[in-house]
Amino acid sequence: MGTLVSGYLDSSWAGRVIVLAIICASIFSWAIILFKARQFRRGERELEQFRQLFDHLGGNLDALYEQTVHSRGNPASKLFQACYREIHLLAPRGDSNMAVIRAEVVEGVERASERAITETEILLQRGLSVLTMTASISPLMGLLGTVWGILEVFQAMDRAAAPSIKDIAPGISAALVTTVFGLLAAMPAAAAYNLFLVRVNRMLAMLENFAGMISNILVRHQLRQAK
């Protein structure tokens, strides 16, 4: 840490500006990391709670709706509520063509579940682009600072009569500091992005599984009412 501080203090104004920009990006990305980690942990806990409630109540749709109607943040509850409301908008029909009724019910439930899953996917992926930008841009900013610093070292060598290694070593060290800062900012952001992406895919797979189970129960329920 002392090496980084001394290298930063030896940097030119351009190097310091680049380092400060990298630090700001790193702080912002860490804020996103902490927020998303909490969001995913809460979402996974809510999915498990819904699964337990779903298993406990079984096919009692009205009771399940009453239990989940106030669970605004639970992605599985929102999925069920969307399907439940959609299927109750479909007016029961008295004709004998049950195939037509089933097709309408299935289509309505699928539309509702797809909308709910898409909304959840957008919510889960919100902020992840900041991590990808930090992971990709921070090393480039660090490289820019290093190249800029090396150019300044060469210019100083050109002005000096007989430069020695002691004269150019501090400049080279200061130039490399920006690359170090860039890598330190990029690595956690890249690791967090990939870990979060795995959790997004896992939660979406769980929601799609819930959607299939909910759709089957709702369709059977509505078909019984239509008879």
User: Quick one: which of 37, 40, 19 has its CA closest to 29?
Assistant: 37
Question: H or E stretch including 125?
Answer: helix 98-125
Global pTM reads: 0.79
Structure-token pair, residue 84: 């439940």
**Residues of the chain under the 50 pLDDT cut:** 95-96
User: Quick one: which of 107, 122, 109 has its CA closest to 81?
Assistant: 109
Structure-token pair, residue 176: 């490399």
pLDDT tens for 105-114 read: 677 778 888 8
State how far the Cα of 193 lies from the Cα of 165, in Å rounded to an integer: 42
In sequence order, which ranges of the chain are alpha helices (DSSP H)?
Answer: 2-10, 13-57, 61-68, 75-89, 98-125, 128-159, 165-226
pLDDT tens for 29-62 read: 999 999 999 999 998 888 888 888 878 876 677 7
Contact 182, 141 (CB under 8 A): yes
**Any idea which residue has 């990709």 for tokens?**
136
User: Quick one: which of 42, 4, 3, 1 has its CA closest to 142?
Assistant: 4
